Amino acid sequence: MRFVRSCKKGHVDDIDWLFFVHHGEEKNCPYKTLWVEERGTSGDIGNIHIVCSCGKSESLAAAANPSASILGKCSGSRPWLGELAREGAARKAVF
């Protein structure tokens, strides 16, 4: 996937797509199968949707809203320093 999340401290991580689509209620989803749909021809993030087989979907435009907490909390990941280089961070992640 070509998108990642980060925090203001510079930590970078993969987006938790189940959390993103289900707004933190992913444990209630019986399917947990996701795919990407591009619904337009422009490549705009508003036309890119993450879809779950349960019927829920979310546009990537929702991730670009800085006041939204749709990306969850930062994990403190610093992948360029190796697997064990996590720092403690509970900040809101951004797109």
Residue-wise pLDDT tens digits, 54-83: 999 999 999 888 777 788 888 888 888 887
CA distances, 89 to each of 44, 48, 66, 72 (Å):
31, 29, 18, 12
CA distances, 81 to each of 11, 41, 49 (Å):
11, 38, 31
**pLDDT tens digits, one per residue of 18-59:** 999 999 888 889 998 999 999 988 889 899 999 999 999 999
pTM, full prediction: 0.78
Contact at 8 Å (CB) between 5 and 15? yes
% of the chain exceeding 90 in pLDDT: 33
DSSP letters spanning 5-17: EE-TT--EEE--H
